[in-house]
């Protein structure tokens, strides 16, 4: 199959892709976070194709994308009390909400869970595509499972070109890392995946918010998470470049010193702009205190490191505060547990 890259700004291209989805196929499209690989969320057979193209484990559920708040009602058992408070501020935008699912959602979308993840993306092309398709879209990030998420149409071409008919090109994704996943299906809202909407913001709005899998998680949650990970996607090694990545954690001064001492022809590094030295294999991905620039450059920087065909990659990790938490989370996942160095 020859993949065609289409301008996402043109109405006729949205129509073409909506028809592709109505025919039970997949389309890659831009969102404000990362590119998604979408199909009709209410059609079990179409959804199966997502798992096979991505090589995604069947126990990892998908996010259902809607284009309006009204579309949520038939997809869930009940609208949680805090839903309006959250969507008033964050929808459309990078916040995914986990709620009790209704029966119209096929089991493969939620990997058999009783809950469903729903978000309304902010990119105009994503909203137009959902509307024109006439159904909510199940869409994971458009990368093969385990690899860095795509933030440009060219990333999608490299990753799954030849395997889908159309990629809607909406330019570079602004946010650059995936949405915050917030479970609002239980008593206390809980962040299952940190993202652009930060813990601090949500805490200010909701007062009571938990967070899974970091030092902010209560001891009880940590034990529960270890037994049954609530966001199944977070248990896998993720976002990984081909060469092993070492996440170097500590002050920017110390981590820069550690990495610079190890640079050679066979090594690449992702470093903060203000700590970079001149070296062909060093990729700067933002100022040490500018987490939002780091977020938008991170996945592209990991792909650039891959293109250098080196055997080792190092990355400076920002502190786990504000949006730095989500950036640090992605770098640590990309490294896997064994490859973290604390300076």
Point out which residues bind Mg ion (CB under 5 A).
141
Tokens 């990753």, residue located: 159
Residue nearest to Mg ion (CB): 141
- Among residues 178 and 339, whose Cβ is nearest to ligand TXA? 178
The answer to whether 306 contacts ligand TXA (rule: CB under 6 A) is no
Count of CB atoms within 10 A of residue 19's CB? 14
What single string gives the DSSP state of each residue in 79-139?
A: --TTHHHHHHHHSSSSEEEEEEB-TTS-TTTTTT-SEEEEE----HHHHHHHHHHTS-EE-
Backbone angles phi, psi at 151, to 5 degrees: -120, 5
Stretch that binds ligand TXA, among 12-20, 91-99, 197-205, 272-280 (CB under 6 A): 91-99
User: ω into residue 239 within 30 of 0, thus cis?
Assistant: no
Residues 6+ apart with CB under 8 A from 52: none
Q: Which of 6, 17, 61, 305 binds ligand TXA (CB under 6 A)?
A: 61
Single out the segment in contact with ligand TXA by CB under 6 A; choices: 31-39, 78-86, 270-278, 299-307.
Answer: 31-39
Minimum Å distance from CB 245 to Mg ion? 17
Q: Which of residues 104-143 bind ligand TXA (CB under 6 A)?
A: 110, 113, 115-117, 119, 121, 139-141
148 binds ligand TXA (CB under 6 A): no
Q: Which option in ligand TXA, Mg ion, none does residue 31 bind, with CB closer than 5 to 8 A by kind? A: ligand TXA
CA 100/CA 117 separation, integer angstroms: 9
Q: C-alpha distances in angstroms, 35 versus 119, 123, 227, 322, 332?
A: 14, 10, 32, 23, 21
Residue among 129 and 263 whose Cβ is closer to ligand TXA: 129
Spatial CA neighbour of 66 closest among 88, 103, 102, 91: 91
From 6, 20, 31, 285, residue interacting with ligand TXA (rule: CB under 6 A) = 31
Contact residues: ligand TXA, CB under 6 A: 31, 33-34, 36, 60-63, 94, 96, 98, 110, 113, 115-117, 119, 121, 139-141, 178-179, 181, 192-193, 230-234
């Amino acid at each position: 199959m020859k993949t065609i890259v289409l301008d996402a700004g043109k109405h006729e291209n949205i129509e073409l892709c909506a028809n592709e989805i109505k025919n039970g196929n997949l389309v890659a499209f831009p969102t404000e976070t990362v590119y998604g690989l979408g199909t009709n969320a209410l059609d079990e057979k179409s959804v199966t194709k997502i798992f096979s193209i991505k090589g995604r484990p069947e126990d990892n559920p998908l996010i259902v994308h809607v284009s309006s708040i009204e579309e949520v009602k038939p997809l869930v058992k009940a609208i949680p009390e805090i839903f309006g408070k959250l969507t008033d501020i964050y929808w459309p935008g990078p916040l995914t909400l986990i709620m009790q699912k209704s029966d119209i959602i096929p089991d493969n979308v939620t990997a058999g869970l009783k809950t469903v993840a729903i978000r309304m993306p902010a990119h105009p092309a994503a909203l137009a595509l959902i509307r024109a398709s006439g159904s909510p879209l199940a869409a994971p990030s458009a990368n093969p499972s385990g690899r860095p998420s795509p933030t440009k149409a060219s990333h999608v071409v490299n990753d799954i070109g030849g395997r889908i008919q159309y990629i809607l090109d909406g330019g570079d994704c602004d946010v650059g890392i995936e949405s915050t996943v917030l479970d609002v299906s239980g008593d206390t809202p809980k962040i299952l995946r940190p993202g652009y909407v930060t813990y601090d913001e949500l805490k200010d709005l909701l007062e009571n918010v938990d967070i899974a899998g970091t030092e902010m998680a209560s001891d009880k949650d940590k034990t529960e998470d270890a037994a049954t990970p609530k966001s199944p996607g977070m248990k896998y090694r993720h976002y990984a470049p081909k060469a092993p990545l070492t996440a170097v954690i500590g002050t920017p001064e110390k981590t820069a010193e550690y990495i610079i001492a190890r640079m050679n022809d066979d090594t690449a590094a992702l470093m903060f702009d203000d700590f970079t030295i001149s070296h062909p294999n060093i990729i700067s991905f933002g100022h040490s205190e500018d987490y939002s620039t780091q977020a938008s450059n991170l996945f592209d920087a990991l792909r650039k490191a891959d293109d250098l065909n080196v055997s080792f990659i190092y990355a400076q990790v920002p502190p786990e505060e504000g949006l730095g938490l989500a950036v640090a989370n992605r770098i640590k996942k990309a490294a896997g547990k064994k490859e973290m160095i604390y300076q």
